[in-house]
């Protein structure tokens, strides 16, 4: 077998704002203070364990796509009726008939990868299917595992549920952030804060494509946005020992704010455990952004966000003398800011060993 915001350090545009969890990102009137967010590690987020891949292979950005057209520059059309629509001031992909589109990846997915997307279906029973190799023949003959997103979302094989959870309204009525993480043969799936699949013997046979089969009709359309495919699930301590630094997109912030989002729980918890277990470690926490917005504001925001991470660690008993916060803004990009994938990649936190 081959194997969403998402570090959101540079979320200074409406595009980046849409990458935040529908459970966490709340619309704010201009001039209004950011809403109070549940703290990482609290409530339903205590056992949250999704971490996005560190290297982005694919990401959608429909901001500049013409309304009424299929976004052929980003996705491959297979069949159906799909177009970009303006939904409440945001460009999203709408399906109004049973449709299929394909994501093309630079190479076959490795054993460690993550898939993130935001989805709203027409009715609870309408399903969106994700196949990791092109499906030939009936869906109930597809032997390897695939993802089904409906009233019983989760992992399926040959038309039968393998690891699912009942959601009474499915993914209808409102936007839902869906996340799949495969780490070797272990797979988890989240819909919002609900872990709907927890499968230790997953069998996602993968290629360099992902097919999305979307159920919809003219009365009950389905909407999709913010597809992000990433690879690489490095462990903090192992990365620090091997290269002296660890990069993550798993520390997320409220839009235009330094408030940590609860989806940051697993990465922050790993940082606390690592620093508690290795008292000799002293680290620098760097905040990085993409190039959206003004340079000075990007720098100031990244500084505040790095400081928020330090404050979180100090509150949990880590000696402040072992921690340093550094905002880098857009000064050190690791990818091309002209592409959606590049912008996603540049919004990150880097943890380095102090000199």
The predicted model gives 80-99 an average pLDDT of 98
Output the pLDDT for position 22: 33
> Sign of torsion, CA 201 207 208 213?
negative
Q: Strands, DSSP E only, in 32-74?
A: 55-59
pLDDT digits (tens, 9 = 90+) for 9-41: 333 333 333 333 333 333 333 233 344 568 898
The helix (H) or strand (E) run that includes residue 343 is helix 340-346
Give the Cα separation of 11 and 16 in Å (integer): 5
Residues in CB range of 150: below 8 A, 6 or more apart: 121, 124, 125, 126, 127, 128, 170, 171, 215
Pairing of strands 128-131, 209-214: antiparallel
**pLDDT at residue 256 greater than cutoff 60:** yes
Lowest mean pLDDT among 114-128, 186-200, 321-335: 321-335
**Tokens 């994938």 — which residue?**
341
What the block records as the tokens of 98 is 């049973």
Lowest mean pLDDT among 23-32, 105-114, 292-301, 341-350: 23-32
Confidence of residue 220 (pLDDT cuts 50, 70, 90): very high
pLDDT digits (tens, 9 = 90+) for 267-283: 999 999 999 999 999 99
The predicted model gives 35-62 an average pLDDT of 88
The predicted model gives 289-304 an average pLDDT of 80
The predicted model gives 249-267 an average pLDDT of 91
Give the Cα separation of 234 and 242 in Å (integer): 11
What rounded mean pLDDT belongs to the chain? 87
What are the phi and psi torsion angles at 275 (to 5°)? -70, -35
Output the pLDDT for position 16: 34
**pLDDT at residue 285 greater than cutoff 60:** yes
What the block records as the tokens of 283 is 């680290």
CB atoms within 10 A of CB 86: 11
pLDDT digits (tens, 9 = 90+) for 121-170: 999 999 999 999 988 877 778 889 999 999 999 999 999 999 999 999 99
- Three-state DSSP at 161 gives strand
Output 173 or 67, whichever has higher pLDDT: 67
What share of the chain has pLDDT > 90, as a percent?
72
Give the Cα separation of 319 and 113 in Å (integer): 34
Give the Cα separation of 202 and 340 in Å (integer): 29
**pLDDT at residue 289 greater than cutoff 50:** yes
Output the pLDDT for position 36: 56
* Domains along the sequence of the chain with CATH: 55-231 (2.60.120.560), 234-353 (3.30.1330.60)
> Sign of torsion, CA 110 113 119 123?
positive
The predicted model gives 236-247 an average pLDDT of 93
**pLDDT at residue 5 greater than cutoff 80:** no
What the block records as the tokens of 103 is 């994501």
Q: Count the alpha carbons within 13 Å of 226 in the hemisphere toward its beta carbon.
A: 24
CA angle 216, 219, 224 (to 5 degrees): 40
CB atoms within 10 A of CB 273: 12
Cα distances (Å, whole numbers) of residue 239 to 72, 306, 313, 330: 38, 19, 19, 23
Output 27 or 199, whichever has higher pLDDT: 199
**pLDDT at residue 294 greater than cutoff 70:** no
CB of 70 closer than 8 Å to CB of 82: yes
Q: In the 8-state DSSP scheme, what is residue 264?
A: G
Give the Cα separation of 237 and 157 in Å (integer): 36
**pLDDT at residue 63 greater than cutoff 50:** yes
Q: Count the alpha carbons within 13 Å of 16 in the hemisphere toward its beta carbon.
A: 28
- Diameter over CA atoms, the chain: 61
């Amino acid at each position: 077998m081959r194997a969403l915001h998402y570090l959101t350090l540079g979320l200074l545009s409406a595009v980046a704002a849409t990458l935040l969890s529908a459970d966490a990102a709340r619309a704010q009137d201009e001039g209004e203070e950011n809403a109070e967010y549940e703290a990482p590690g609290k409530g339903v987020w205590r056992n949250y364990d999704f971490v996005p891949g560190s290297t982005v292979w694919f990401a959608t950005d429909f901001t500049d796509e013409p309304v009424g057209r299929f976004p052929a520059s980003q996705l491959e059309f297979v069949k159906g009726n799909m177009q970009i629509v303006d939904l409440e001031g945001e460009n999203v992909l709408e399906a109004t008939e049973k449709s299929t589109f394909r994501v093309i990846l630079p190479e076959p997915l490795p054993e460690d990868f993550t898939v993130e997307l935001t989805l709203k279906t027409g009715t609870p029973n309408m399903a969106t299917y994700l196949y990791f190799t092109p499906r030939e023949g009936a869906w109930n003959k597809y032997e390897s595992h695939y993802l089904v997103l409906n009233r019983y979302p989760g992992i399926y094989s040959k038309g039968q549920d393998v690891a699912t959870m009942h959601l009474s309204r499915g993914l209808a009525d409102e936007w839902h952030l869906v996340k799949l993480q495969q780490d070797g043969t272990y797979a988890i799936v989240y819909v919002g804060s609900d872990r709907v699949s927890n499968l230790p013997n997953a069998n996602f046979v993968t290629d360099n494509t992902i097919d999305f089969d979307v159920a919809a009709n003219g009365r009950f359309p389905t909407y999709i946005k913010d597809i992000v495919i990433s690879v690489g699930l490095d462990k903090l301590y192992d990365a620090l020992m091997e290269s002296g630094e660890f990069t993550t997109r798993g520390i997320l912030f409220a839009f235009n704010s330094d408030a940590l989002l609860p989806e940051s729980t697993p990465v922050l918890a790993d940082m606390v455990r690592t620093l508690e277990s290795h008292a000799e470690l002293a680290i620098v926490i760097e905040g990085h952004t993409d190039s959206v917005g003004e340079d000075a504001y990007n720098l100031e925001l990244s500084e505040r966000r790095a400081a928020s991470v330090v404050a979180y660690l100090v509150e949990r008993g880590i000696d402040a003398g072992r921690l340093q916060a550094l905002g880098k803004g857009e000064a050190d990009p690791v990818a091309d800011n002209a592409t959606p994938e590049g912008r996603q990649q540049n919004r990150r936190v880097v943890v380095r060993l102090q000199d």
